[in-house]
Amino acid sequence: MSSATLPVQGAPTAPPYPNGAPDRGLIQFTSGSTGLPKPIVISHEQILFNANKTAERVEFDCTSIYVSWLPLHHDMGFILALMMPLASQARLVLIPTETFLRNPTVWLTTISEARGTHTGGPSFACRLLSNAAYARRIANVDLSSLRYCGLGAERVSWATVREFEDTYASHGLRPGAVRAGFGMAEATLMVTCTVPFGTRRIAWIARGARAAGRPRAQASFHRAAWAACAPARP
């Protein structure tokens, strides 16, 4: 587009396009983890349905405060961190992604200062902030307001969840606030997640059996096993 194609100030403009609930709202691409990324057409109706059902599941309403550093061009950032608070008419505190990457502690200090109730992101963020060097830099952070920290976008390690909760327990983080979820672009975003502070059951699944499509639980932790967190509902 050049300046020659821009409308002249005061010139008549076309009327707004009459979008309806079934009309296309956006096109988002699949992750590409099992093949080439594919474009998925998402309607306005699907966006609002997924945002509202997720809010209901994680107990998010107009009194809640969502704190996020996720990029808005990613489906987790757009649907969960932007559309869910908008649909719920709740407060949203956005941290520029670049700011988080330069200083990851800004995530937790913002939750503390804004009294955030909900947040989320990939599990690497929790793993990073469990490092003692980061924890010492935010010794006065208060996470007692946080009710739900949803982890997704990559495999969620039970060791990461446990270490993060243990590291920040003395800062008011309550056991069970960190929860695993699963989503897909093909489903708009959220497929299944767990309620805040709900029961967590851990099943250790043998990796070889999982890869073969025949999951087999093991009696206890083994380093050649995956941890599956349950129960979860759509």
CA-CA distances (angstroms) from residue 21 to 25, 49, 73, 82, 175? 9, 10, 22, 19, 39
DSSP 145-185: T--EEEE-SSPPPHHHHHHHHHHTGGGTPPTT-EEEEEE-G
Cα–Cα distance measured from residue 160 to residue 12, given in angstroms and rounded to the nearest whole number: 57
Per-residue pLDDT of the chain (234 residues; tens, 9 = 90+): 455 566 666 666 777 777 778 888 788 887 777 778 888 888 888 889 989 999 998 999 999 999 999 999 888 888 889 999 999 999 999 999 999 999 999 999 999 999 999 999 998 999 999 998 888 889 899 999 999 999 887 777 788 888 999 999 999 999 989 988 887 777 777 777 777 877 777 766 666 655 555 555 555 555 444 555 545 555
Q: What is the dihedral of CA 170, 172, 176, 179, to 10 degrees?
A: -100
Place of tokens 């956005």: 94
Cα–Cα distance measured from residue 212 to residue 203, given in angstroms and rounded to the nearest whole number: 17
CATH number of this structure's domain 23-193, picked from the four choices 3.10.620.30, 3.40.50.12780, 3.30.300.30, 3.30.390.30: 3.40.50.12780
The pLDDT of residue 206 is 65
Q: Which of 206, 159, 191 is nearest to 178 (CA)?
A: 159
Q: State which amino acid sits at residue 217.
A: A
Cα–Cα distance measured from residue 22 to residue 196, given in angstroms and rounded to the nearest whole number: 32
The pLDDT of residue 208 is 61
| Domain ranges, ordered by start, for the chain | 23-193, 199-234
